[in-house]
Each structure stands twice: as C-alpha cells, then as structure tokens.
Amino acid sequence: MTDPSRSNLPPLQLHVPEPRFRPGDAVDYSHLVIPPAGVQPRPDEGCAASETHGLCLDLVRVLGEDHKAVGPWDPKLDPESLRRMLRLMALTRAFDDRMYRGQRQGKTSFYMKCTGEEATSIAPAMALASDDMVFPSYRQQGILIARGYPMVDMINQIYSNKADKLKGRQLPIMYSAKEASFFSISGNLATQYPQAVGWAMASAIKGDTRIAAAWLGEGSTAEGDFHSAMTFAAVYNAPVVFNVVNNQWAISSFSGFAGAERTTFAARAIGYGIAGLRVDGNDPLAVYAATRWAANRARANGGPTLIEHFTYRAEGHSTSDDPGQYRSVQERSEWPLGDPVARLAAHLEALGEWTGEAHAAMDLELAEQVKAAAKAAEANGVLGHGLHHPFRTLFEDVFEELPWHLKEQSEQAIRERRIKWPEWKED
C-alpha cells in the first residue's frame, strides 16, 4: 500500500529498451552520428589511457566516401596486402555460404554466418602476430581462414564426422586449433574473456612476447565474465586486446538490452581506466589500424585496449534464427556503413589495383575452392550417416588413465549397444 505521505510523488516507471524498427517499419538511421573519415586523432601507442577516451565516443574511420584512405589512422598497406585482405574476406563469405547450404541440406545440425562482419576477424588476424593467442567467439571463423587452417578440418568439425579432430564433442562451428593459436570456442557467453586475460598474464609472468586477443558480441558485455576480465586486465596491466563486435543484435534482442541506449560499448574502457577505441567495423583499414595500435601498445607493456567494432549482422544469428520475426528487412540495405567486402574492393579500384572482372573471377575461384574442401570433408561423413568416431572414444581424453567406474560404464554401454544392435561392430 502506498504511503499517504508520498501521494504527491509521481509513480516510478520501469524503462524497457525498445528497438527503433520492427518488422514492417520503415528504416531511418539518421540518429546515428557517422563522422567523416580521417578526422579522428591517432594518439601515440604509449600514451596515457585517458588520451584515448575521447575516441571511445567517436568512430575511427579511414575509408572516405570516395573510397580513398585518409587521415592518421591510414595503415598505408601495400596493394598486395589489400588484395590478400579482400581475398580472405571473400573466402570467408564463400565458406559461410557453402556451409549454410550444407546445414539446409541436413549435412550438419547448425551453422553461424558472419556476413557483413568479415572485417572484424580478417583485419585483426592480419594485424596480430600469427602466434598471438586468440580467444574467439562463434563468429570469428575468418581468423582460422586467415591463419591458413585447412578448411577441410573446419568442415570435418562442422559435420562431426570420423575425421573431426574434436571427435564430435563440440557443437558445430565451435572450433579448437592449438596449432593455429586458436582457443576452443565456448557456447557459454563471455567465458573466453577471463581466459584471455589469464593467458596474457601468464605470458607476461614468463617474459614472453606474445599477447592475447579476445572477441565477443556486444550482448555478452552484460555478462559477469566480461567485467571480471576487465578488472583483472586493468589491475595487472595484462597484454590483451578486447574486441567487442557490436553488430546491433543478439539472437532476437537489440543492443539496447546490453546498455547501448546509454553510451557506446567502447566507453566501458573509461570506467576501468584502460585504453579504448570505437571503430567503423565495416572499414577493414580502420579495423586493421586499431588492432595494430592496440597490439603494439600491449607488446610494449602499455596494457589492455578495448575496441568496439561498430558493424551490422546482415543475416540471421544462426541457422536456428529468423531475423524477419523481430527486425525490419530494410535494415541491411539501409545500414549506412555499407559492406566491408564491397568497400575494400572499391578502395582497390580507386587505387587502380582492382576491377569488377577480377572480383567476379575471384569469387568463382573461391567458390570452387570451398566446394572442393566440402567434397573432401563429406567423404569422411556428414550428420546422421554413420561415419563417426568409434563409440569407445566417448570415454577417452579426459583422464590419463581411465578410472574404474568409467571402465565399467564403458563396458556396460558397449554391451548394451551390441544387444540393441547385434549387427553393430566396434571399429
């Protein structure tokens, strides 16, 4: 019951974030502040963290409307490096398209594309050292592709077949590749952040030269693990690069539920007293430059940096998602920062180093390359076709010596399997 002495006070109201556009709505992005390219200052990599805090509310951009690179953040990459970056982004997109079709054909249970976000994995992979340890989320398949990890092995994991190095124990697309310095992807949101900080701290304790880099979506910044990681990194000056991929949407809720209505995600660096940058995530050159800046800073014992990549998830959250149920179909075409592949191609054309014909030929070549890898992986089996690891491996790889109770469970499971399927033979 309301206290009569407070009857003159207005009732409290709970604010529930609501996206600007829903299915069927017209889309108007005029509320976004998109500054011109090239006007953002580039502090020295060894500067005090506070000197970067203005950039947490800005947007670092390199590619202008004329598709030319301008300003102090221009990394001045040579044409060959630019073509390699373009090719890797296009290859990642071709890989996604093929795997998406594979899921729809029943060859795997699940897949997640990174369409429109390729720059947030390819450009950082090129800016980092090849042996820097990366702690990805589930939309950074481009890092493996950029590091030359075999696509056949990636597809084997997606199909959970007999050649899957993870033996079918991970959800499709949750890769693990120690040889590529690529930490195991976890379906539990944000766990990779404190793991990255711990690894970076260990690298510093050992006097190594390798740094860590971690990725998560903006929604995961609401998880406790994010804040624990930020605290430890700030306190111990861990050599780590935090990447927040702000693609505007979680599976069905928009970024406002993670705090985007109040300020930028990069601004969280200010509260922790670490360096922060907010970057046009669809500008591959800006992403590369920001990552190189943060990596150099970490390697010189300057501490952690939080980079917000302002981008857009062009397609569904996963093959289990229908974005048409919660957002306007016009959002993708109206997104003011364009498409990273198209923007880099236009930049190369403006330099006289690329043509539409060359791009079309590249796309055909890459589609065939992915097709060949998919065919090779399919020879090892696809979902539900019986080509998988031996049943006994279910009990392996956890203990150096299998405990007695697991031996009993293994024997019982195999015995019951033989009773139920007499024709079954353990391979």
Indicate the SS3 state at residue 246. Answer: strand
Helices (H), 72-150: 79-104, 119-127, 141-146
Q: Cβ(378)–Cβ(371) under 8 Å?
A: no
Question: Helix/strand/coil (H, E, C) string of 259-312?
Answer: CCCCCCCCCHHHHHCCEEEEEECCCHHHHHHHHHHHHHHHHCCCCCEEEEEECC
In the annotation, is 309 catalytic?
A: no
Residues 6 or more apart whose Cβ sits within 8 Å of residue 97? 113, 367, 370
Structure tokens at 234: 């700030």
Tell me how far apart the alpha carbons of residues 277 and 118 are, in angstroms, rounded to a whole number: 19
326 a catalytic residue: yes
- For the question of residue 313 being annotated catalytic, the response is yes
Determine how β-strand 133-135 pairs with β-strand 275-280: unpaired
Q: Which residue among 42, 326, 332, 359 is the active-site one?
A: 326
Among 93, 98, 147, 317, the one annotated catalytic: 317
Identified catalytic residue from 93, 147, 297, 313: 313
On the 0-12 / 13-18 / 19+ scale of CB atoms within 10 A, 162 is: middle
Provide the β-strand partners of residue 69. Answer: 63
Which are the catalytic amino acids? 313, 317, 326
